[in-house]
Amino acid sequence: MTAIFINGQSVETGDHTTVLQVALANGFHIPHFCWHPELSVVGNCRVCVVEHEGRGVGIACNMPISDGMRVLTDSEPVRAQRKAMLQFILLNHPVDCGICDKAGECSLQDYHYEYNGETAISGDAKLHSTKFFPLSERIILDNERCILCSRCVRFTREISKSNVLGLENRGDSMLVRPAEGRSLDDDPYSDNVIDICPVGALLSRSFLYQARVWYLEPTPSVCPGCARGCTVQFWHRKAEWRLSGLDERHNTRVHRVTALENPRVNGPWICNKGRDLPELLDRPRATQALQKGAPVSLMQAIETARGLLDQAGKRVALVSSWGSNEELRAFRNSLGDYFTSFVKPDHLPLEGEVVEDDLLIRADKNPNTRAAQDLFGTAAAEIPDDTELVLVWGEGVDFGTLPRGVKILFLGSWLLPENGHADVFIPISIQTERRGHYTNFEGVVSPFEACQPHRDGVIDAETLFPLLSAPGGSASGGGAA
């Protein structure tokens, strides 16, 4: 095993091949803009300089390891060179942190205070460049803030392979621009460049000026957009920053979704569909239980549903592939004997979306099909004409396809016309209001946490299922379908 000395401390290098990798893996801080663990090494920002004792200063991202080498990460020559590089990088930078969405998450801001901290030594006027360049329908580019690290360019070449972005011109005229004839709109992973841009040059249109990041906090979760089940973070307002003067929806909504690195599932990336989850979650919610379209109390709806279960002979359940592992088990344990159950897709691919690729996106647009099929089988739904009760759990069922005259017990979360067409409609909570687990298509189980308040009038499916078959409830006396 190769060992090197960093700041006088012996460390083993493991599988790593450069000083930067070894240092970061062993807890030594080395600033870096252009280097990214998933991208090729270009060494153009020059702030990751370290001192190779006896050999002088060089960039750590491209410094190969040799057994016994001695490296200093914070010596005087190192700090002097980093300061010079930051002065250079900031020569034409607008330093408009006060109105920049990246403020609070910006490496340039952090490194400036750590290694520079002084006003510009240049007396020349700053060169101006393009502001608000429309890079795509989703992203705008501020060329004045761009430090030309080329992370975004390498992402489209090496990860998403859309080859959309390039650098044109030279020197202080250099610009990130889409390659001729290509559009970033065609890259279903484009928004990852917003995350990996170390400064505030690449900006999400949907998040632009929506919130300062220090008012928000992330909750770890799982993207329900497809069977990959990417690990994500839902960003929402901190409790102490929910303001009475703000619309309640603004206080509690998910403001943005970012990737949470998970080497077993998605690495550090997610697709744009995952970023768009706030739109999905912002749909009007159903919070009122209904009986043939008429409002009733939740308990009344549950009582009536028990009665339906008791009276019906042949019963079929269409099980949600958006139910959590816990909810699916609760259904099987409480109601599994009363129904012939089929797993249905709650969501199908939308028109125009990438259905499947070899990076992350899966054709199954539901997060928990695997766990549901493990419990209820893989057979396609068959509903005999003499079925007397269909329990529909979640979205994706056209009531017009169900047998005529069948009673319908519908468990849903959204304000849909179908709610009023069911014999009983019971509103249930959504993923962001409860905790649980999903099992992705490869069998990896991932947890998600609640990050939004539970709505009044809404019940968790996991709580509901035992109530529908509770002792004393008429459902407990029913036979299997």
What type of residue sits at position 432? T
Assess contact for 391 and 422: CB atoms under 8 A: no
**Does 233 help bind ligand SF4 (rule: CB under 6 A)?**
no
In whole angstroms, the minimum distance from the beta carbon of 102 to ligand SF4 comes to 9
From the list 91, 184, 208, the residue with the least C-alpha distance to 145 is 91
- DSSP lists the bridge partners of residue 408 as 390
Contact 110, 162 (CB under 8 A): no
Nearer to ligand SF4, 228 or 407 (CB): 228
Q: Which is nearer to ligand SF4, 376 or 438 (CB)?
A: 438
419 versus 431: smaller Cβ distance to ligand SF4: 431
User: Which residue in 176, 260, 308, 316 binds ligand SF4 (CB under 6 A)?
Assistant: 176
Q: What amino acid occupies position 352?
A: G
Cβ proximity to ligand SF4: between 266 and 288 the closer is 266
228 binding ligand SF4? (CB under 6 A): yes
Question: 204, exposed or middle or buried, with CB in 10 Å at 0-12, 13-18, 19+?
Answer: middle
Q: How far is the CB of 129 from ligand SF4 (least distance, A)?
A: 11
How many residues does this entry show for the chain? 481
Choose among 211, 224, 159, 199: nearest CA to 368. 224
Binding mask 128-157 for ligand SF4 (x = CB under 6 A): ------------------xxxxxxx-----
Q: Measured between alpha carbons, how far is 359 from 370 in angstroms, rounded to an integer? A: 19
Q: Is 271 in the site for ligand SF4 (CB under 6 A)?
A: yes
Q: Examine residue 201 and tell whether it contacts ligand SF4 (CB under 6 A).
A: yes
In angstroms, the CA 239 to CA 235 distance is: 12
In the complex, least distance from residue 48 CB atom to ligand SF4, rounded to whole angstroms: 15
DSSP assignment of 395-413, as one string? S---GGGSPTT-EEEEEES
Q: Is 86 in the site for ligand SF4 (CB under 6 A)?
A: no
Q: How far is the CB of 251 from ligand SF4 (least distance, A)?
A: 25
Distance CA 468, CA 304 (A): 10
What's the min distance (Å) between Cβ of 260 and ligand SF4?
11
Q: Are 151 and 196 in contact (CB under 8 A)?
A: yes
Binding piece for ligand SF4, criterion CB under 6 A, among 208-216, 264-272, 377-385, 422-430: 264-272
Angle among Cα 28, 47, 215 to the nearest 5 degrees reads 75
State the nearest-atom distance from the C-beta of 60 to ligand SF4, in Å. Answer: 19
Distance CA 92, CA 42 (A): 22
Piece in contact with ligand SF4 (CB under 6 A), picked from 83-91, 208-216, 222-230, 279-287: 222-230
202 contacts ligand SF4 (rule: CB under 6 A): yes
Closest distance between ligand SF4 and the C-beta of residue 385, in Å? 37
**Gap between the Cα atoms of 44 and 47, Å rounded:** 9
Binding segment toward ligand SF4, per CB under 6 A, in 47-55, 77-85, 195-203, 293-301: 195-203
225 binds ligand SF4 (CB under 6 A): yes
User: Interacting stretch for ligand SF4, rule CB under 6 A, among 59-67, 92-100, 111-119, 194-202?
Assistant: 194-202
Name the segment binding ligand SF4 (CB under 6 A); options: 96-104, 196-204, 243-251, 382-390. 196-204
DSSP-derived letter for residue 282 is T
Return the DSSP state at 115: I
Q: Which of residues 358-377 bind ligand SF4 (CB under 6 A)?
A: 360-361
Between CA 236 and CA 239, with CA 237 as vertex, the angle to 5 degrees is: 125
From the list 223, 312, 371, 458, which residue makes contact with ligand SF4 (rule: CB under 6 A)?
223
Residues that bind ligand SF4 (CB under 6 A): 146-152, 176, 197-199, 201-202, 223, 225-226, 228-230, 266, 270-271, 273-274, 360-361
